Amino acid sequence: MKTFKTILLMMLLASVTLTSCSDDDMDLTGNLKIKVNMDNYLSGTYDIYTELAGITAISSSAEFWPASLKDGTLSKETNIYNLNYGTYYLKVRSKDNTNQGYILFQIKGGQTTVIEVVDRKIIEIE
């Protein structure tokens, strides 16, 4: 009987331990916030590419232009939701297409990455 109680107790402890180690609550997507502090870039456009597509896009030997994952129009604060975690390439263009900039950035699960367009530079601030 003592052996049976010991086995039952061990099974109970094992089931509690295994259920508490679940990774189901892990958030695998994050958000991007683009802040624009230059009037020239307000109403400009943005494109988001994967890291590899971004490197291909800026390479002079590229034979094709990759399609962007997301694109749109810039405002004072532009929010892009539910990007998978990983490294991305952001390209922004001024509203008259005379200026452009780009940056590689990372998305982390459950977090918001903040990028700011300041004085013809793009800076990742968070």
pLDDT single digits (tens) 34-74: 999 888 899 999 999 987 766 665 665 555 567 789 999 99
The β-bridge partners of 30 are 83
- Give the helix ranges, DSSP H, for the chain: 2-20, 51-58
pTM (predicted TM-score):
0.72
The β-bridge partners of 48 are 70, 90
